[in-house]
Structure 1
Amino acid sequence: MAAVVLTALCALVACGGADTEAVGETQSGDDDSATAGAPQFPASVEHRYGTTELEEAPERIVTLGFSDQDAVLAFGITPVAVTYWYGDHPHAVWPWAQEALGNAEPVVLNDGTFTGQQNFDYERIAGLEPDLIVGLYTGMTQEEYETLSRIAPTVASSGDYPEYGMPWQESTRMVGQILGQPERAERMIAEVDQMFTDAAAAHPEFEGVEMVVAEMFEPGSSFVRSATDPRTVFMTSLGFELPAEIAELAGDRDGAEISDELMTKLDRELLIWNVGSDPSLREQIENKPLYSSLDAVQDGRVLFIEDPLVSGALTWSTVLSLPYALEHLVPELAAAVGS
Structure 2
Amino acid sequence: MSFTAAGRRLALVLTVPLLLAACGGDDGDGSATGESGSTAAPDGEQTGGFPASVDHRYGTTELTEAPERVVTLGFSDQDFVLAFGVAPVAVTDWYGEYDHATWPWAEDELGDAEPVVMNEGAFTGMQAFNYEEIAELAPDLIIGLYTGMTQEEYDTLSSIAPTVASSPDYPEYGMPWQETTRMVGQILGQGDRAEELIAGIDQQFADAAAAHPELEGVEMVVAEQFEPGSSFARSATDPRTVFMTQLGFVLPDEIAELAGDLDGAPISDELMTQLDRELLIWNVGHDDTLRAQIEAKPLYDQLQVVQDGRVLFIEDPLVSGALTWATVLSLPYALEQLVPQLAEVVGGAA
TM-score (norm 2): 0.88
For 2:183, give the aligned amino acid.
M
SS of residue matched to 1:327: helix
Q: How large is the RMSD of aligned CA atoms in angstroms?
A: 1.2
Distance 1:167 1:128 in 2: 29
Q: Are positions 1:76 and 2:85 aligned together?
A: yes
Instruction: Tell me which residue corresponds to 2:62.
Output: 53
Distance 1:234 1:287 in 2: 28
**Equivalence map 1:218-229=2 (5 Å):** 218-229=227-238
Q: CA deviation at 1:19?
A: 7.6
Q: CA deviation at 1:115?
A: 1.2
Q: 1:22–1:39: 8 Å Cα contact kept in structure 2?
A: no
Q: CA deviation at 1:279?
A: 2.0
Distance 1:20 1:129 in 2: 23
Q: 1:64–1:82: 8 Å Cα contact kept in structure 2?
A: yes
Instruction: Tell me which residue corresponds to 1:14.
Output: none
Distance 1:279 1:66 in 2: 22
Q: Are positions 1:22 and 2:45 aligned together?
A: yes
Q: CA deviation at 1:88?
A: 1.0
Instruction: Tell me which residue corresponds to 2:333.
Output: 324
Runs of 4+ in 1 over 2 A off after TM superposition: 17-23
Q: CA deviation at 1:117?
A: 1.4
Q: CA deviation at 1:2?
A: 4.2
Distance 1:280 1:322 in 2: 25
Instruction: Tell me which residue corresponds to 2:18.
Output: none
Instruction: Tell me which residue corresponds to 2:314.
Output: 305
Distance 1:2 1:224 in 2: 29
Per-residue CA deviation, residues 56-93 of structure 1 (Å, 9 max, x unaligned), is 10000000000000000000110000000011111100
Distance 2:42 2:84 in 1: 7
Distance 1:113 1:19 in 2: 28
For 1:158, give the aligned amino acid.
S
Select which of 117, 128, 138 maps to 2:137: 128
Instruction: Tell me which residue corresponds to 2:102.
Output: 93
Instruction: Tell me which residue corresponds to 1:293.
Output: 302
Distance 1:311 1:103 in 2: 26
Distance 2:320 2:45 in 1: 34
Q: 1:20–1:77: 8 Å Cα contact kept in structure 2?
A: no
Distance 1:70 1:311 in 2: 16
SS of residue matched to 2:45: helix
Select which of 169, 174, 180 maps to 1:160: 169
Instruction: Tell me which residue corresponds to 1:261.
Output: 270
Gaps of 5+ in 2: 4-39
Distance 2:42 2:101 in 1: 22
Distance 2:41 2:90 in 1: 20
Distance 1:283 1:240 in 2: 26
Q: CA deviation at 1:131?
A: 0.2
Q: CA deviation at 1:21?
A: 3.4
Q: 1:19–1:75: 8 Å Cα contact kept in structure 2?
A: no
Paired residues, number? 312
Select which of 204, 210, 219 maps to 1:210: 219
Q: Are positions 1:151 and 2:163 aligned together?
A: no
Instruction: Tell me which residue corresponds to 1:32.
Output: none
Select which of 148, 165, 170 maps to 1:139: 148
Q: 1:41–1:57: 8 Å Cα contact kept in structure 2?
A: yes
Gaps of 5+ in 1: 4-16, 24-37
TM-score (norm 1): 0.91
Q: CA deviation at 1:185?
A: 0.4
Distance 1:19 1:324 in 2: 22
Distance 2:311 2:52 in 1: 47
Q: 2:41–2:87: 8 Å Cα contact kept in structure 1?
A: no
SS of residue matched to 1:22: coil
Q: 2:42–2:112: 8 Å Cα contact kept in structure 1?
A: no
Distance 2:161 2:137 in 1: 10
Instruction: Tell me which residue corresponds to 2:185.
Output: 176
Q: CA deviation at 1:22?
A: 3.5
Distance 2:289 2:244 in 1: 24
What fraction of aligned residue pairs are identical, expressed as a percent?
A: 77
Instruction: Tell me which residue corresponds to 1:13.
Output: none
Distance 2:121 2:52 in 1: 34
Select which of 196, 201, 213 maps to 2:210: 201
SS of residue matched to 2:265: strand
Larger RCO: 1 or 2 (CA < 8 Å, sep 6+): 2
Q: CA deviation at 1:321?
A: 0.2
Q: CA deviation at 1:171?
A: 0.4
